[in-house]
Amino acid sequence: MRFEIRPYDEADESAVVALWSEVFAYTAPHNQPLNLVRQKRAYEQALFFVALDDRRLVGTVMGGYDGHRGWIYSLAVDPSARGQGIGAELMRRIERQLAELGCRKINLQVLAANSATVDFYRKLGYAVEERVSMGKLLVPPPPEPRDASRP
């Protein structure tokens, strides 16, 4: 295995922000990668791993655990490094960490449009379950971006 999986380190911050900016292309201000990294680190530190290929950061994964269920999110592999087993190895690492914490079941969400990633997760033993995903904002929604073409 040429690449290395290790816990996130503060020195990885700018490389993670660059990776997520490319892979996830979030637009909402509350999803800005720098905020996401810092909020995660401020709240919980053990469930955040990066993949390095010859010291270049090429992948990330985060997890969450409430003492019962585990969650996995922010799995990303640099497009130039895909298809080499890095995503699968990141998943195995975060699964091991969650299992060590006592977690017995992992959940994750995939955007309905992201069917390719569903196939990836199926290969790793995940199954689509009959659930409805719901969400609610606890803060006011961000303002709509201004349409520059209108007065």
Q: Dig out the tokens for 101 from the structure.
A: 């914490």
Single out the segment in contact with ligand COA by CB under 6 A; choices: 28-36, 79-87, 98-106, 135-143.
Answer: 79-87
The answer to whether residue 129 forms part of the interface with ligand COA (CB under 6 A) is: no
Confirm if 60 and 49 have CB atoms less than 8 A apart: yes
How far apart CA 27 and CA 18 sit, in angstroms, is 14
Site string for ligand COA, 11-50 (x = CB under 6 A): ------------x---------------------------
Site string for ligand COA, 84-123 (x = CB under 6 A): xxxxx---------------------x---x-xx-xx--x
Residue 108 CB, shortest distance to ligand COA, in Å, is 6
The string of DSSP codes covering 29-62 is GGG-HHHHHHHHHHH--SSEEEEEETTEEEEEEE
Confirm if 89 and 51 have CB atoms less than 8 A apart: yes
Binding site for ligand COA (CB under 6 A): 23, 75-77, 82-88, 110, 114, 116-117, 119-120, 123
